[in-house]
């Protein structure tokens, strides 16, 4: 949820961020905290205890009616027909070319579905879905009436349980349910973008400040603190999670992105299926890889990647990994390239090597059914 101030929108938690001394930045049209105490400190906090994130910039669409399932089966690359009530599933939405409209989460509700889309893609996504509705499908943008709080880290369950009325230990990874948090009825899912165990809480804008303060109070002894976008980015990159606009866009297919596990070519026809199948069969000219810097240097987007003295690709995401103590990144390289690389950083060649993902493997995320 957001209120507009000029061309930048404020979430329902803006006053909490300012009171906590956050460094505010514009992101996807919203004023959001980049950090409170420092990116590295906040990153390590999430890995060791738990951090609280304002992710209210995300978009939420409600899809219902007798045509909802057929609409989503045709729009999304992953299966929706096998998603049970209370389940959450990651999927792409693609163009006919196979290029990616967005990556999103699908929630199976008792009366339909909720799609959670990237905030920067909200208007584009809504129009794309609206143009492809089957008869009998109702579509509603609920983003402005929804705030979203994420608590992530190994102590997140204990902190949330202190103010929730349900048994969170029974909630599996990528599952959701309705329960009371701080006495308020909300939707809670065991999902996140950090590689740590955690939850995301969907609530009304008036409820968000109450829940935010209650979580900080309940989690104080557990080390729970607010965390900004900077650490959210370094945490997701350590897990090798792709970011729309950096690591994937309308020019990339799921084949190049390496996420065919959320693209079910064996299901009924969906938009982009034929193009994606052809890209798989032909083999992509480029593919995404993860790499680590050998020695000193921090890779950044648009840095060039070299192998054997030849320019073979470009960095799409890069950072210094607080958990690993070295530079890491994602980038597209010519298919077949692996092993020793060089990254051009500020005019000098820095040694790197490809590695399997995720970079960080000790997260507390619980992949329970």
**Model confidence pLDDT, tens digit, residues 207-222:** 999 999 999 999 999 9
**Overall domain count for the chain:** 3
pLDDT tens across 273-286, in order? 999 999 999 999 99
Mean pLDDT of 56-64: 98
My answer on whether 52 and 198 are in the same domain is yes
Q: For residue 290, tell me if it sits in a domain.
A: yes
The pTM assigned to this predicted structure is 0.96
pLDDT tens across 77-86, in order? 999 999 999 9
My answer on whether 114 and 130 are in the same domain is yes
Q: For residue 112, tell me if it sits in a domain.
A: yes
My answer on whether 74 and 49 are in the same domain is no
Tell me, what's the pLDDT at 366? 67
Q: Which of 318, 309, 354 is nearest to 335 (CA)?
A: 354
The percent of residues in the chain predicted with pLDDT above 90, rounded, is 96
My answer on whether 18 and 32 are in the same domain is yes
Taking the CA of residue 42 as centre, how many other CA atoms within 13 Å lie in the half-sphere pointing to its CB? 26
My answer on whether 153 and 39 are in the same domain is yes
Mark which of 144, 173, 189 sits at the end of a domain: 144
Domain residues for the domain of 204 are 2-56+146-237
Query: What CA–CA distances, in Å, run from 339 to 241, 292, 319, 329?
Result: 21, 11, 20, 14
SS3 200: strand
For residue 168, give both structure tokens.
């969170």
My answer on whether 302 and 291 are in the same domain is yes
Q: For residue 279, tell me if it sits in a domain.
A: no
My answer on whether 84 and 187 are in the same domain is no
**For residue 5, pLDDT beyond 70:** no
Query: What CA–CA distances, in Å, run from 301 to 146, 260, 313, 343?
Result: 32, 24, 11, 11
């Amino acid at each position: 949820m957001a209120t507009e101030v000029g061309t930048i929108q404020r979430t329902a938690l803006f006053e909490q961020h300012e009171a906590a001394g956050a460094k505010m930045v514009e992101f996807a049209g919203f004023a959001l905290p980049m950090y409170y105490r420092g990116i590295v400190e906040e990153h390590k906090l999430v890995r060791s205890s738990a951090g609280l994130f304002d992710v209210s910039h995300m978009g939420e669409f409600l899809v219902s009616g007798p045509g909802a399932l057929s609409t989503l089966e045709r729009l999304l690359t992953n299966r929706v027909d096998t998603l049970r009530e209370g389940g959450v599933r990651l999927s792409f939405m693609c163009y006919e070319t196979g290029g990616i409209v967005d990556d999103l989460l699908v929630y199976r509700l008792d009366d339909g579905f909720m799609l959670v889309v990237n905030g920067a893609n909200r208007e584009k996504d809504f129009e794309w879905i609206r143009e492809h509705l089957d008869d009998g499908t109702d579509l509603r943008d609920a983003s402005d009436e929804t705030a979203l709080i994420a608590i992530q880290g190994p102590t997140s369950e204990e902190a949330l349980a202190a103010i929730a009325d349900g048994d969170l230990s029974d909630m599996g990874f990528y599952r959701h349910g309705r329960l009371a948090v701080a006495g308020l009825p909300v939707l809670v899912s065991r999902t996140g973008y950090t590689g740590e165990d955690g939850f995301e809480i969907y609530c009304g804008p008036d409820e968000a400040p109450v829940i935010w303060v209650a979580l900080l109070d309940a989690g104080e002894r557990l080390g729970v603190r607010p965390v900004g976008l900077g650490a959210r980015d370094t945490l997701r990159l350590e897990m090798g999670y792709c970011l729309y606009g950096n690591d994937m866009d309308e020019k990339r297919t799921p084949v190049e992105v390496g996420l065919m596990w959320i693209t079910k070519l064996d299901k009924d026809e969906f938009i982009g299926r034929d193009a994606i199948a052809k890209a798989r069969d032909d083999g992509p000219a480029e593919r995404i890889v993860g790499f680590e810097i050998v020695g000193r240097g921090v890779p950044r987007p648009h840095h060039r990647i070299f192998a054997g003295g030849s320019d073979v690709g470009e960095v799409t995401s890069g950072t210094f990994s607080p958990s690993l103590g070295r530079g890491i990144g994602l980038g597209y390289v010519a298919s077949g390239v692996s092993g020793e690389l060089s990254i051009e950083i500020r005019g000098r060649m820095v040694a790197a090597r490809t590695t399997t993902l995720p970079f960080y493997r000790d997260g507390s995320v619980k992949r329970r059914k």
